[in-house]
Each structure stands twice: as C-alpha cells, then as structure tokens.
Structure 1
C-alpha cells in the first residue's frame, strides 16, 4: 500500500498547472462590461471554472469477463467492487472519492437514493431498468485525482449500452481497454476496437490482464508482441498486468509483497495515467476552454458587428439624404422660369386687350390762317384719333367671370402650387428607415416579440438608440412639414400680391392711357402745329403695364439668380443637412464606441490564441 501511495504523491507534486482561470475570468469580465450576459452564458462560465480542477476521467471498458472489476480493485488498492458489476447491472458506475464508502443510485425519473454496495449484486431486473447510473464513493487517495467510469461495454445485445459507451468515450480524458492476455485479438474484440476505440488512440491504453497465467517471460513477450500487432494503430500503449497479484500484494507487508506489486504492472498503468493522460488532459482542457471562450466572444462580437455594419449603412443614408436630384432641381428651376414666362404672356395678352379696346373716331377741328389779303380765316377739318371707352373697358377687364380674368387665375393657382410636386418627390425617410430596418433587424423588427430581447442583448450604449431610432424619420418629417408651410406661405403671398396688383394695374393703366389721350387732345386743340395727337402703341401700353405691375420684381422672384426655385432648394438642403448632422453625430459616437469594443474583443481573441498553456 505504501508503494502506491508514494507513487501517487510523487506525481501529484508534478501536476501540470495553467492560468486558464485568469482567461475565463478576464473573458467574463470583458463581456459583462459591455453586454448583458444571459443565464446560459453565465452558467457556461461557472461550468468552465468548476471544471478546471475537476479530476481526470478515465473510462474502463472491455468485453464481459475480462476482469474489469478486479483491475479497478487493483488500481484502488483494495477489493471495493464486487466482480461482475457490469454483467449484473449493465449500467455505468462512476467511481469517485468520498470520505466514506457508499453507493448512490440515480433513477431515470431524476430522483436518487443511497444503498449499500451489495445492491449492485442484488438489484432485480425490473428495478435495474428504472436506473440511469450509479456513483460509488470510496476513501481512496487516487480517486481525488481520477474518476473511473465502469461501463457496460459493446458486446451487449442492448443498443442503449453501446450508445452510452460511445457517448462516454467522447467525454472522458482517458480510455483503458481491459483484455485477457491469453485470449487477446479475437475477431469480435478487434471489430469492437476498430469501430469504437481507434478514433481515440491518443488517450487509449490497452491493459492485458492475467499475465500471471503465463509460464514465463517468453510467453509474455510473445503475447505482448501479438497484441501489439493485432491492435496496431488503436492504442497509445499496451501494458500487461496481473490484477490478482496486485491485490494479493496489498495484503502483504513484506518486501515480497512490494516486489509482487511492482511486478504486477499496476504501477505502469498509474504512470501512464500521470505521465500521459494527465498532461494531455490539461492540454485538451486548455484547448477546449480557449476554444469555448473564443466561440463565446465571437458570438458577442457578431452580436455587435452586425448592427455596426448596418449603422454604417444608415450613416450613408443620412449623408445622402437632402442631396437633391440635379435633374429634379433643374426641372424645378424650369418651372419657376415658366411662371415668369406665363406672367409675361398674360401681360402681353392684357396689352393686346387694351390696345384692341382703343376706338378710332373722327373729330372736327378748326384751323386758323390768313388769306392773301391778310385777313384771318378759320377752316374746319376732320381727323381720326384714338379714344378709350374707359368705363366699358374697366367693366370688361375687371369682371371676375370673364375669360381674361380666368386665365390670370390659372397663373395665380400655378404660383400657389409651385414646388408642391417637387416636395412630394423628396423620398420619405420613414420609408427609407423601414427598408433599412427590414435589412438590419430581419425577424427582430419593431412590433415583433423578438425585438425587445434583441435590443436587450446589445451593449447598453446601443439599447436606447435602437428603441428611439424612429425619431430620425419624425425629425425629417417635421422639417419637411415646416418647409412646406413656409413655401406655401411665400407662394400664396406672391399670388395674392400679384392678384391685388393686377386689379390696380388695370385701373391705373386705363386711367393713365385715358389721361394721355385727353391731354394730347387738349394740347392739339390749342396748337396743332406744336402738339400732335397722342397715338398709343402696343409698346407704350406694354411699358405702362410692366411698370405698373412691377414686372422686374417678379422677374427677380421667378427668373433671375435668386429665384424662388433656387431659394427653395437651398432651404431644403440646408435644413435637411442640419437635421442629418444632428443624427450623424449620434451615429458616429455610437460607431466609435462600437469600434472600440470590437477592437477590444479582437485583441482578446488574439490573446486567447497565444499558446501559453
């Protein structure tokens, strides 16, 4: 017994150490700083930490009657397990450390109970079918480092046993296949090993039991070489042992007992476990732990990286929104110039209307002159002249139901409606945002049950933004509404001013025209030689109308550099840019924060890839 204890103590002092706990804690701290860890991930971190110092798990497996229980007793240093556990129960028995020897039974319904060790030999088949697995606890020092799993094996007729054994092989840190040394390499055994064990060569050991049945070292060498050839490529090592002699040596305290124990081969098995399986377990644990941490970080990295991508896209949408289509701007400017052209045509039509309203009439005039005798005589003559039937013309031109006035009202309406179509062609940012949301959130869009969990899984600096981002569309909607109100006020004012000016213009020009005709007549009557009759031309009337209506003012508003179209474009671009910049500033701050977190995660992943374990 002292030989085994000294051997275990010696290897315990050399046990491989690693800083995995620091990596686990650092990863958990990093993610917790920026994300709300869900319960599943918190459990995972706790599990990774709890498994760091977990004992080595070794599955002991073999065909029926291969001496597995005897071998385990030899390893444990005393006869704890009754022989034939597996044939009797066909259940996994986990053997671990406990202050007292006891058996715990776990049932398939989730309950468990305790029973004496004899239960393993006495359990009835009907009860056995209700049992999931066993745990046996023994006060053996070796079990503080190693948990052994006694398994059903692969030659059972029950497929469930095979499935359980395969699942165990994937999970354990080491596999010990127990075979009888004088019956090694049977076809049935090789078939099992080829189908189930060869995939785990790096952690597999073959133990050839009952070497004490061989006559001499020659037979031992022959059997060992045959096993190595038969099991080529399946095991990392093959060790012949005598479990019976190992147990026998435990009962003896003499030097013969120590030699018998050393010759049994059990120490070589323990050495393989400590020198091969334990360092390998530590390395595998480091690899699996680091891989789990990297996968977890990548999950959270992706959780942030995807919205980060779509925030960049939204940034582009905001930068381009308010940059108006040049073709549409050109069309708007053309519409403004068309309004002025229409105004000019209305003035021309009014000019023609007034000119055509002038009437030609003959009037008699007296002209005095001296005859040949020097006597003053008066001669009467007739001359045609223009007169303006003022009342009739005013009545005609100012009547609201006249076709002439109707045409002017069309102009007033066109001025009032100016820019309406252009404003309608500005894309609705709510629709732009809706399309962006469908791409960015997919099935997690607002209004779906998945939206809130999605948002809560984001870093805190993004959560509030994702809840409130629809306000972006509302701010643009409000800005455009104000622009429309402002535009409507200006165009209505222009139309009303023109309408009022038109009424005054007609009256003033008619009065002026009538006055000039009368003044011309009076002057002609006084001195026909010096003052001709006033003969108004269309150019005269047009100039009067243009001056009276203030055509230059409307030319400035509709045609020249600072026309209403260009003013509207400048206003739209300025206001929308101002609104965009407000949201862009917020987005850029979010992006900068995101990039900092993503960079931190990338650097942490690189550190986890460093082969420091």
Structure 2
C-alpha cells in the first residue's frame, strides 16, 4: 500500500539524528578521565548510546477478544500473529525487525531458545509458567522504525500480568488501547483505564476496533461521542478503525477495492498519530531523559568527590591549627624555666649562708711597734678578733652525700633534666586528630574493613594514592615529636650535668679562695697593720665568688632572661611543626586545587546539559 510505504519513508526521514551522542561521549570521557567508572554506569552509557537510534516502542494493550492480534497484523500489513495469542500465552510478545520470520523464547531462568511461531497457539500451561517473554522477528520494514509490545493486559486474577503491564507502560514511547467499538465504556474497562492508563494520557491512543460492524456513519459518530465522554481525560485521541478491512486491503484485495477498504479502515489515522504525535514526543522525551540521566551521573560523581573535598578542607584546618602552641602552655613552660632559675638562686643563697656560717672569729695577739717623741721604740701587744675558716671541715661538710644541701642540689639537677617533659606530653597526638578526621570521612567504610578499598577506588586517582598514604602524616608528626624530645633531653641533660660538675668545683674553689684571702689578709696585716687591714668576708663577697665560679650569668641567660631555654625550645617546636605542616599543607592544597578543577569541569558540563535541555 502506498500510504503505508509513505509513512515508513517519512518516519525514516524524521529519524532522530542525535547530537546527544556527543553529550553522552563527552560526559563519559570527562568522568573516565578522573574516575574508575562503575560497571553499572559504563553499562548506562552504552545503553544511552544504543537507545539514541532505537525504534519507537509502542505497547498495544486491551482486554481479551478485543481484536489486538488482527490490529497488529493490520499495522504490519501481513497475517503474522495467530489469533488468540494473548489468551493462550499471557506473556509479553515483543515484535521487532528481523531478516527472517522467527520466534525466540526467553525463560525466567535466563536461558532462551528458538521455536516455531505455532508455539504461540499451542503453549503448554506448565511450560508457559516458566517463560518470561517472547520476541517475534519479522522482515517487515515498519519494524525497523517501530517495535510493538503485545502485552498480557490487566488481569485481576493474575497480579504478575498487571505488574508487567504497568512496568511496560512506564517505559514505552506510546500506548495503544484496543477496544471493541460496540462494547466500549463497560465499567470494568473504565476502571482499568482510570487506574492504569490515565497517568500516560499524553502518549496514549484509544483505537475502537471493528467499526465495520456498525451500520452507518451516524452509529459511528454516536459510538465515538460516547467513547470520548466515557474515556474523558484518559486518552490524547480516540479513533475508530476496522483492522479486518485494513488487513483485507493488504492481503486479499487489489486495485480500487483494496484502496477503498484501506481508506475505509481508517488505519492511516493510527499511523498519523504515531508520526505527528508519538514520534516528536519520543524525540523530545528521549532527549530530556538522556540529559537527565547524564546529569544524574555527573552529580553522582560530583558528590563522590565533593564530600572528600570538604573533609580535605577540614584536615587543612587541623594542620594549620596543630602547629600553633597554646599561649597558656607556653607561659607555663617559661614560668617553669624561671622557677628553675629561682631554685638555683635559692641554692646559691643557702650555700652562701652555710659557708658564711662556718667562718670563725678567733682572738689573736698582735704586736705593734711605735717610736715616742724621744725616738725610742716601743712595742705594744694587743688582741684582735680575726676570721678563720676551717677549710677541711667545711669541705668535708659540703661534699658529704648526707648533707641536706647536697640533696637539694640533686633535686635541682633532676628538675632541670625533667624540664619540658610534661609540656611535651600535653601536646595533642596528631594520630588522634587524623583518626577522628578519617572516621568522619570514611564513616561506614573505615580503614581495614572490606568496604574501605572499594570506596578508595571510587575516588579520582590522585586522591586514591594520597588516602592510602594519609596515615604517614601522623608518622611525620610522631617522628618530629620524637626528634624534639631527643633534642630537649640532650639540652637539659647537658645543662644539668654542666651545672652539677661546675657546682662541685665551684664550692671547692670558693672555699679555697676564701681561705687564701683570709690567710693573705692576716699575713699582710701582721706585717703592716696600718697599711693592710684584715680581710673580713661578707655574705655578699662569698655570693659574688660563687656566682663567678659557677658562671651564674650563663645560667641566668639560659633559665631566666629573654633567650631562656623555654623560649628557645618553643621556637624549635614551632619551627619543626611548621616545617611538617607546610609540607603536608602544600600536598593538601595541591589535591584541593586538582579537586576544584575537576568539580568545576563537572559543574560546567552540567550547565551545558541544562542549556541543551532548554534548547530542546
């Protein structure tokens, strides 16, 4: 028939030459550049590409004995489908193009086989229960453009049939409901249409079959009017046809008779609905659905990267704050250093007092020769108290281990060695901070569980490598703290050991010097008391001698003044932490910059797809 051939030609000309293919490929390329795509997502891309040029899918549905098989044969222009296919099989039959006429059976266990077409009329109920669906292939040109789905319909006795039909209605591009024109509008039919078809009005056509049974045009108009009232709001269009006459025109008649039967059948109105309504709608719906799916995939991977990106920012903040010491703790450390100096000063004062207390005042007799007015020499004898120092006894006392002062000195040495230990213990462990960060990021797929590696592999490659090695940040800080503790231990022990050694020598040196000064002063006084007074040491003299012998100013500088050991140690800690932080912050910021570039690319691509949607 020329009308059918014209329809096929027009349909082919309007075939969707889809620029969406470029969008699909560009989206897949963008995501594949940075992510290892899920197998399901790769399958989605393949499916989208395959569906771009897929035939229009039209479901033909109706109640039993509505003439669906004849209607489908009329559309195909050949007697291909046996009468009674639906009542016998109650299975979906997909009718598509094939080089040869054949039937393929798909079973519920996933297997499939080929069978003669007659099986549709002879299906055994036991075997039929194992079948999932049929595919019928026929060498009909129309099927290159349209795939028909002959559905089991809505059966209140079989919920599986109803569920399958509903699933098909959601997916197909068009729906054709076939009803008998002289039996239209029954309550059972209206209930089915209201519950299942009305949701898809925009793509639904109602075909009132067997109009050839009506007597005249008046009956036809009455039937159409009644159907439109009964099915109001359910179908986009309602038309009356004669599938029998359309099939007769194609298979049994010739010449003018065939033309008359075909025109009277009104089957061309079905093709016109498909061409002018379903085809453009399919094109638009396919475009929107494809772009919607692509945006969904992009957003999926955007979130997959955006969430770790947020946590990288948080980790960046943790690193930045970790290198900054608590001012209260710093002041406590400085105070501790100054207290050590106070203890040293106190010990020296006590030592000064003890040495001074050991000085003895002893009366000694001295002679003094004078000349009188007559030039005669006169020697006078007199007594005077002088300081003496029991050197051996004092040294013995000061060096004895049971001397309380010796014990106090040892406490000072130990306190210097322990300086900063508590401070280092109070520095929070970065391992705990990193563990807390990881728990927040990984949540349901923590490190060490079966879900960890799949999660890591779902991230971009640069984040995969970093996350697998992220625990090394804690190792870097632990190593840095270990070096700081070693450095502190070395400096404090060296200082304590130097003070201990200096202190022992200084005590002996001061005692000897004090004894020497007393002796020399006495000797000089005995020679010439008018010129050389006796040496009478004061506590201040002794303390000055101790300060010099010990190197008091050195310890004052190390423990008390501006550049004391506490401030120097704080600078060392801050410098060490800053070095470690800066190294890892540089890595983090590089990761973030890479992330931002990927996220920006995805956002721009989403915007492009939105623009394409508006254009379409």
What TM-score comes out, normalization by structure 2 length? 0.97
What is the distance in 2 between the residues matched to 1:238 and 1:307? 55
Compute the displacement of 1:260 (Å): 2.0
Q: How does 1:303-382 map to 2 (within 5 A)?
A: 303-369=304-370, 375-382=376-383
Alpha-carbon displacement from aligned partner over 1:391-441 (angstroms, at most 9, x marks no partner): 000011112232111101111111111111111111211221111111112
What is the distance in 2 between the residues matched to 1:104 and 1:467? 50
Q: Does 1:159 align with 2:159?
A: yes
Could you tell me which runs of 5 or more consecutive residues in structure 1 were left unpaired when the two chains were aligned. Answer: none
Contact 1:64 1:155 survives alignment (8 Å)? no
Compute the displacement of 1:477 (Å): 1.5
- Equivalent in the alignment of 2:292: 291
Compute the displacement of 1:285 (Å): 1.2
Q: Does 1:584 align with 2:582?
A: no
Q: Does 1:399 align with 2:377?
A: no
Alpha-carbon displacement from aligned partner over 1:245-285 (angstroms, at most 9, x marks no partner): 11121122212321321221110001111111111112111
Contact 1:59 1:175 survives alignment (8 Å)? yes
Report the more deviating stretch, 287-296 or 389-398.
287-296
What is the distance in 2 between the residues matched to 1:339 and 1:441? 48
Report the more deviating stretch, 80-89 or 406-415.
80-89
Q: How does 1:19-30 map to 2 (within 5 A)?
A: 19-30=19-30
What is the distance in 2 between the residues matched to 1:379 and 1:279? 144
1:444 is paired with a residue of what secondary structure? coil
- Equivalent in the alignment of 1:414: 415
Compute the displacement of 1:379 (Å): 3.0
- Equivalent in the alignment of 1:238: 238
Contact 1:75 1:266 survives alignment (8 Å)? yes
What is the distance in 1 between the residues matched to 2:144 and 2:120? 23
What is the distance in 2 between the residues matched to 1:160 and 1:384? 128
Let me know the Cα RMSD of the aligned residues: 1.5
1:83 is paired with a residue of what secondary structure? coil
Q: How does 1:443-592 map to 2 (within 5 A)?
A: 443-592=444-593
Report the more deviating stretch, 408-417 or 31-40.
31-40
1:202 is paired with a residue of what secondary structure? helix
Residue correspondences, number: 613
Compute the displacement of 1:449 (Å): 1.8
What TM-score comes out, normalization by structure 1 length? 0.97
Could you tell me which runs of 5 or more consecutive residues in structure 2 were left unpaired when the two chains were aligned. Answer: none
- Equivalent in the alignment of 1:50: 50
- Equivalent in the alignment of 1:127: 127
Compute the displacement of 1:373 (Å): 7.0
Q: How does 1:421-436 map to 2 (within 5 A)?
A: 421-436=422-437
Alpha-carbon displacement from aligned partner over 1:283-341 (angstroms, at most 9, x marks no partner): 11111111111111111111111111111111111122221110111111111111111
What is the distance in 2 between the residues matched to 1:543 and 1:352? 13
Contact 1:3 1:258 survives alignment (8 Å)? no
Compute the displacement of 1:202 (Å): 0.7
- Equivalent in the alignment of 2:60: 60
Alpha-carbon displacement from aligned partner over 1:556-579 (angstroms, at most 9, x marks no partner): 111111111110011111111111
- Equivalent in the alignment of 1:259: 260
2:443 is paired with a residue of what secondary structure? helix
- Equivalent in the alignment of 2:81: 81
What is the distance in 1 between the residues matched to 2:176 and 2:493? 96
2:428 is paired with a residue of what secondary structure? coil
Compute the displacement of 1:156 (Å): 5.0
What is the distance in 2 between the residues matched to 1:601 and 1:482? 45
Q: Does 1:224 align with 2:224?
A: yes
Report the more deviating stretch, 453-462 or 564-573.
453-462
Contact 1:174 1:277 survives alignment (8 Å)? yes
Alpha-carbon displacement from aligned partner over 1:494-513 (angstroms, at most 9, x marks no partner): 11111111111111111111
Alpha-carbon displacement from aligned partner over 1:25-45 (angstroms, at most 9, x marks no partner): 111111111111232221111
- Equivalent in the alignment of 1:600: 601
What is the distance in 2 between the residues matched to 1:16 and 1:322? 62
Report the more deviating stretch, 208-217 or 108-117.
108-117
Q: Does 1:70 align with 2:70?
A: yes
What is the distance in 2 between the residues matched to 1:156 and 1:545? 111
Alpha-carbon displacement from aligned partner over 1:500-531 (angstroms, at most 9, x marks no partner): 11111111111111111112212222222333
2:94 is paired with a residue of what secondary structure? strand
What is the distance in 1 between the residues matched to 2:512 and 2:140? 128
- Equivalent in the alignment of 1:111: 111
- Equivalent in the alignment of 1:276: 277
Contact 1:521 1:534 survives alignment (8 Å)? yes
What is the distance in 1 between the residues matched to 2:341 and 2:115? 105
- Equivalent in the alignment of 2:209: 209
Compute the displacement of 1:607 (Å): 0.9
Contact 1:102 1:137 survives alignment (8 Å)? yes
Inter-CA distance 16–371: structure 2 relative to 1 (3 Å threshold): closer
Inter-CA distance 406–337: structure 2 relative to 1 (3 Å threshold): same
What is the distance in 2 between the residues matched to 1:464 and 1:117? 58
- Equivalent in the alignment of 2:249: 249
Report the more deviating stretch, 441-450 or 382-391.
441-450
1:11 is paired with a residue of what secondary structure? helix
2:300 is paired with a residue of what secondary structure? helix
Compute the displacement of 1:372 (Å): 7.9
- Equivalent in the alignment of 1:179: 179
What is the distance in 1 between the residues matched to 2:393 and 2:400? 11
What is the distance in 1 between the residues matched to 2:112 and 2:525? 134
Contact 2:365 2:382 survives alignment (8 Å)? yes
2:365 is paired with a residue of what secondary structure? strand
What is the distance in 2 between the residues matched to 1:155 and 1:450? 44
What is the distance in 2 between the residues matched to 1:156 and 1:413? 93
Contact 2:16 2:52 survives alignment (8 Å)? no
1:443 is paired with a residue of what secondary structure? coil
Contact 1:103 1:134 survives alignment (8 Å)? yes
- Equivalent in the alignment of 1:149: 149
What is the distance in 1 between the residues matched to 2:85 and 2:591? 64
Compute the displacement of 1:227 (Å): 0.8
Alpha-carbon displacement from aligned partner over 1:467-505 (angstroms, at most 9, x marks no partner): 111111111221221121111111111111111111111
What is the distance in 2 between the residues matched to 1:452 and 1:107? 37
- Equivalent in the alignment of 1:92: 92
Contact 2:3 2:268 survives alignment (8 Å)? no
